[in-house]
Amino acid sequence: MRMKIIFVSLCFAILIHLSAGNKTESSVYPAWVALDYKSNPNNILISIYKKRNTTPHIPSPVDMALESFPLIDGHNDLAFLLYSKLKNNITSFNFNVNLKYKPGWEKSHTDIPRLRQGRVGGQFWSAFVFCESQYKDAVAKTLEQIDVIKRLIDKNSEHLQFAATSDGILDAFKNGKIASLIGIEGGHSIDSRLGVLRMYYELGVRYLTLTHSCDVPWATSSTKEDDDLIAVGRKLTTKVGLTEFGKKIILEMNRLGMMVDLSHVSKLVMNDALTTSVAPVIFSHSSAYCLFKHDRNVHDDILRKLKQNRGIIMITFYPGYVGGGEYGDLGIVVAHINHVVDVIGTDNIGLGGDFDGIPKTLIGLEDVSKYPDLLEALFESNPERWTQRNIEKLIGRNLVRVFREVEKVKKRLSFAEPLQDVISKDDFNLVKRNDIWVCRTSYEKKTYDRLIEKMNKTHK
């Protein structure tokens, strides 16, 4: 007992001696010393050492950026995964668990726990249907994909908040929720009809990718056969970008306040769209052609035009588009981001991972939980460039700025009547398919007269 008293006295003597050089620290010692002593008297010296040698945590620019502004990803194909696996029946689908531990979902990239771990603050969910549906049931299938996205958001409203405006993104972030927006991937989803485009906007769609891996009658795709997808469209003998009707679609999107997405389109369409659009455009999931020569990527001359347009390129993570092969890692994406910034600066770049729409991932970017790792690697690649402010631009400020400018154009064009053009037969004649008219009817006078005549005969 006497030895314990001597030991404790010695400890307090040491404490008083250590405190003498720092009056500020000494004022807070008694509370935690007493607490540590009561819990474990023999551990008091260790406690003193730990308290005096623990340096305050200084948040990195990445931490501060993610705390200050939502990280908004431009493209995620989870909705199509729901169609592929569940036929869109999400009654028993639990999005609030880590799906990689669920049988049959091991290769999935997205769920709420991993979105939270990745500190995602906003996500564009893609309403995508295969090119095989073109000229058939593309519109109906696209509506089903919009429907399942909305049902997923409603079912997980504790974590997800539907957004259709730039302010809506920031409102969700303030509420601690993930802003959930809708983009349609592929112009075949509008079936060459401006009325369908307008109804999609009414349902909350805020961008349209002009093509997917197939041409449409009014725009050409970057590739006729893109990876494992079978391209279905026209086989052109002459090079075409946007037709006149295609340009009308761009202008109607400007009037509506819908962002024009140029991922997947041909370079000719990129040029035509950048010339035609009066609002900033986006590439929702593309990368730098200079670093990896794939037709899905964007050439430096287009990047410079994008800067003039005040648009944004959101860098994708798919190894097939960024390079790296089987053993590529997140450093490849860092290189693509830095190259784009070298060419056009930090005001026109964002992130568009394409998770759950890609068969392979880079090492270190296996799913949506990995965004902070990417940002830390980016910061380490060039700390002087990647300040907190520039990281904020990359993760979301640039996208929100583009969205707001698109909304301003909508307001400026509020006086304009909806465009009511109908696609030209000449555009359809470019399509080298025998079944193009199978699922289309005509309201031309001759056809109408024949229908009336047939009806009259039937009722006699």
Residues 32 and 87 in one domain: no
Q: Which of 109, 188, 264, 294 is labelled catalytic?
A: 264
Q: What are the tens digits of pLDDT across the range 68-100? A: 999 999 999 999 999 999 999 999 999 999 999
Q: For residues 105 and 85, is the Cβ–Cβ distance under 8 A?
A: yes
Please compute the mean of the pLDDT values over residues 122-147 and round it to a whole number.
97
Asked whether residue 210 carries a pLDDT value surpassing 50, the answer given is yes
**Are 115 and 11 members of one domain?**
no
98 with 31, same domain: the answer is no
Choosing from 36, 77, 111, 272, the catalytic residue is: 77
Domain shared by 268 and 367, yes or no: yes
285 has catalytic annotation: yes
Among residues 384, 412, 440, the one where a domain terminates is 412
Confirm whether 459 is a catalytic residue.
Answer: no
**What does the pLDDT average to over 168-175?**
99
Condensed to tens digits (0 to 9), the pLDDT of residues 426-446 reads 888 777 676 676 677 765 656
Q: How far apart are CA 124 and CA 166, in angstroms?
A: 12
Same domain, 268 and 362: yes
Q: What is the mean pLDDT of residues 13-22?
A: 46
Q: What pLDDT sits at residue 7?
A: 52
pLDDT digits (tens, 9 = 90+) for 276-318: 999 999 999 999 999 999 999 999 999 999 999 999 999 999 9
Domain end point (choices 412, 429, 446): 412
* CA 325 from centroid of its chain's CA atoms: 23
Residues 384-402 pLDDT 10s = 999 999 999 999 999 999 9
Instruction: Find the domain containing 48 and state its range.
Output: 2-53
Domains: count for the chain: 2
* Token pair recorded at residue 35: 């607490």
Q: Of 15, 35, 53, which residue sits at a domain end?
A: 53
- Asked whether residue 326 falls in the same domain as residue 221, the answer is yes
Task: Give φ, ψ of 103 to 5 degrees.
Answer: -55, 130
Looking at the chain, the whole-number percentage of residues with pLDDT higher than 90 is: 75
Q: Looking at the domain assignment, is residue 454 inside a domain?
A: no
144 is annotated as an active-site residue: no
**Structural domain includes residue 264:** yes
Q: Are residues 137 and 284 in the same domain?
A: yes
421 located within any domain: no
- Please confirm, yes or no, whether 354 is among the known catalytic residues: yes
> Is residue 448 domain-resident?
no
- Mark whether 32 and 96 lie in a shared domain: no
Which residue from 218, 211, 217 is spatially nearest to 189, judged by alpha carbons? 211
Co-location of 18 and 113 in the same domain: no
Catalytic residue (choose from 36, 73, 111, 185): 185
Q: Which of 36, 73, 75, 427 is catalytic?
A: 75
212 is catalytic: yes
Residue 118 sits in the same domain as residue 207 = yes
Would you say residue 324 lies in a domain?
yes
Using one digit for the tens of pLDDT, what is the confidence trace for 151-160? 999 999 999 9
Percentage of the chain exceeding pLDDT 70: 80
Query: Is 400 within a domain?
Result: yes
Indicate which residue of 109, 188, 285, 339 is catalytic.
285
Q: Which of 215, 354, 367, 427 is catalytic?
A: 354
Q: Domain with 321 in it: what CATH number?
A: 3.20.20.140
Query: Is 419 domain-assigned?
Result: no
CB burial readout 16-25, b (16+ within 10 A) else e:
eeebeeeeee
Tell me, yes or no, whether 23 and 112 share the same domain: no
- The active-site residue, picked from 73, 109, 188, 212, is 212
Of the listed ranges 48-52, 244-248, 303-307, 367-371, the one predicted with least confidence:
48-52
Residue 150 lies in a domain: yes
- Tell me, yes or no, whether 27 and 45 share the same domain: yes
